[in-house]
């Protein structure tokens, strides 16, 4: 119950930052760079956070780990204010609103479904690495493979943020997700951790770019009066996707083996790619906003 209440009241800093960047960066190429950096930072947070928790639990106590989490959460809000980024926030012009908000937009629903399956694949992938290491009696390799995958994701995000490809994002996204499924499928054929490590790195190269592309399209398709809600729903899709992937992946490992969890990750990536094929190029293209 405490975990549920804590999750419900976490500061929505990532959602607010993405909304601000939509107002701040009027050029879509600049937004791509900004959202790529956002994906890289989140990847690093999800990698370093559990590592710090493990260190504190081992060296101090679980209470110390909870204290660290509380400190980070509390510090995020004043840091956001101190950054000065809130000056770029813009209120949407008066417009008729609907109870369902961004959920009335077809393109956003497609993107949320794609994000859910994409992140379900991430969740299953993480437990698959741990299941692989446990089954092979090399427990230390589980977190190591997750870290290698995260490093690949961070590098892929930085490269994607600096690239400006002529191909529309709507066409890039299904290709990125499909390419991500290839090294994941090869995971099922490998039994040696030294052979799996480069596959984990290669798979990671496509993770942050996929998340960046999806976030960029949400920014594009969100109506001005529903921008914050649109990013909130995307965060919901991501969190529920990761949780569902971990839960189902863990169940598959218990009933079968780690290969089943890798297989679930592959199927999830392909499902995410299929959903993005339903996107229409240029639908609800937003007008540039004056950042001043």
What pLDDT is stored for residue 284 in this prediction? 39
Radius of gyration of the chain (CA): 19
172 in any annotated domain: yes
Question: Does some domain include residue 141?
Answer: yes
Q: Is residue 2 part of a domain?
A: no
Question: Would residue 127 count as lying in a domain?
Answer: yes
- 96 lies in some domain: no
CA-closest candidate to residue 110, choices 217, 239, 225: 217
State residue 281's pLDDT score: 58
Burial of 81 (0-12, 13-18, 19+ CB in 10 A): exposed
Residues 6 or more apart whose CB falls under 8 angstroms from that of 159 comprise: 205, 209
In a domain, 3, yes or no: no
So what's the pLDDT on residue 24? 85
Buried b (16+ CB within 10 A) or exposed e, 235-244: eebbebbbeb
Query: Is residue 256 included in any domain, yes or no?
Result: yes
- Domain, as residue range, for 171: 11-88+103-276
Instruction: Report d(CA 54, CA 147) in Å as an integer.
Output: 14
Q: What is the pLDDT of residue 292?
A: 39
DSSP codes of every residue in the chain: -HHHHHHHTS--HHHHHHHHHHHH--SHHHHHHHHHHHHHHHHHHHHHHHHHHHHHHHHS-HHHHHHHHHHHHHHHHHHHHHHTGGGG--PPPP----TTGGGG-HHHHHHHHHHHHHHHHHHHHHHHHHHHHHHTT-TTHHHHHHHHHHHHHHHHHHHHHH---SS-HHHHHHHHHHHHHHHHHHHTT---HHHHHHHHHHHHTTHHHHHHHHHHHHHHHS-GGGHHHHHHHHHHHHHHHHHHHHHHHHHHHHHS-HHHHHHHHHHHHHHHHHHHTTPPTTTTPPPP----
CB atoms closer than 10 angstroms to residue 4:
8
Q: Which residues contact 213 (CB under 8 A, 6 or more apart)?
A: 169, 172, 173, 176
Contact 19, 143 (CB under 8 A): no
Q: What is the CATH number of the domain that holds 59?
A: 1.20.1250.20
Instruction: List average pLDDT for each run of 10 residues in the chain, which is 292 residues long.
Output: 76 85 83 88 80 82 88 90 84 74 91 96 95 92 92 93 85 95 96 95 95 93 88 93 95 95 97 90 44 40
Q: Is residue 227 part of a domain?
A: yes
Q: How many CB atoms lie within 10 A of CB 126?
A: 24
pTM given for the model = 0.86
Number of domains in the chain: 1
The residues near 289 (Cβ < 8 Å, ≥ 6 apart) are 22, 23, 26, 90
| pLDDT score, position 288 | 42
**Residue 73, pLDDT score:** 87
How many CB atoms neighbour CB 42 within 10 A?
A: 17
């Amino acid at each position: 119950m405490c975990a549920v209440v804590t999750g419900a009241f976490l500061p929505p800093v990532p959602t607010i930052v993405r909304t601000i960047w939509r107002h701040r960066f009027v050029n879509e190429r600049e937004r791509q760079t900004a959202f790529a950096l956002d994906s890289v930072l989140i990847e690093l947070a999800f990698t370093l956070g559990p590592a710090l928790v493990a260190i504190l639990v081992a060296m101090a106590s679980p209470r110390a780990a909870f204290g660290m989490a509380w400190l980070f959460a509390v510090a995020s809000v004043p840091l956001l204010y101190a950054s000065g980024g809130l000056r770029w926030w813009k209120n949407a012009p008066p417009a008729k609103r609907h109870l369902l908000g961004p959920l009335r937009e077809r393109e956003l629903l497609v993107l949320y479904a794609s994000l859910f399956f994409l992140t379900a694949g991430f969740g299953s992938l993480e437990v698959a690495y741990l299941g692989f290491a446990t089954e092979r009696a090399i427990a230390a390799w589980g977190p190591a493979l997750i870290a290698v995958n995260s490093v690949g994701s961070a590098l892929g995000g930085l490269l994607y943020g600096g690239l400006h490809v002529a191909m529309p994002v709507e066409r890039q996204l299904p290709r990125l997700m499909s390419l991500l499924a290839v090294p994941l499928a090869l995971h099922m054929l490998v039994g040696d951790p030294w052979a799996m490590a480069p596959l984990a790195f290669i798979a990671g190269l496509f993770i942050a770019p996929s998340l960046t592309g999806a976030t960029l399209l949400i920014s594009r398709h969100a109506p001005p009066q529903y921008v914050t809600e649109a990013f909130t729903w995307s965060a919901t899709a991501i969190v529920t996707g990761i949780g569902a992937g971990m839960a189902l992946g863990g169940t598959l490992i218990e009933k079968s083996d780690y290969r089943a969890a890798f297989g679930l990750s592959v199927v999830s990536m392909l499902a995410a790619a299929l959903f993005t094929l339903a996107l229409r190029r240029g639908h609800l293209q937003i007008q540039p906003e004056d950042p001043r």
